Amino acid sequence: MKKSFCIAIVLTRFNDELCMELYENTLKQLKKLGVKKIDLYRVPGALELPFAVLKVAKKEKHDAIIALGLVMRGETKHFDLVCEQTYAGLMEINTDEDTPVIFGVLAVENKKQALDRIRANRMNKGAEFADAAVEMAQFNV
């Protein structure tokens, strides 16, 4: 396995405290897997992820890109719109571009679900996203 992968992470600021914990767990796993170069890009929220990921995919050379964020259900339909459009945009990039995109956007009902998925001693989705990025990066070798 190639150990010198270059991975980009595009991370949302919305729900920043939770997203930063998700990011830290992702970063820790990438380093554990031997990734030498990790570039971080920040965006305001999940709907901005497809635009930023596409720009990174077209302008920078990365072996994989991880789109990281968290969308928590509120009292309106906004949650569904954000989740559906973010997913559709990222999937389109994933199939149209040469760089694999890992969908690391958690869609949760509440903070407890978020913490269950983010925390390193629980589901640790950040580590799973890192594992997926390294596995998919091997297709760009």
> H/E/C letters for each residue in 13-52?
CCCHHHHHHHHHHHHHHHHHCCCCEEEEEEECCHHHHHHH
Strand 101-108 to 6-12 pairing = unpaired
Tokens (6 digits) for 28: 């820790």
How far apart, in whole angstroms, are the C-alpha atoms of residue 11 and residue 74? 21
Q: What are the distances in angstroms from CA 81 to CA 36, 86, 122, 129, 134?
A: 36, 8, 28, 23, 30
Catalytic residue among 2, 78, 111, 122: 78
How far apart, in whole angstroms, are the C-alpha atoms of residue 23 and residue 129? 10
Q: Which helix (H) or strand (E) holds 61?
A: none
Determine whether 78 is an active site residue.
Answer: yes
Catalytic residues: 78
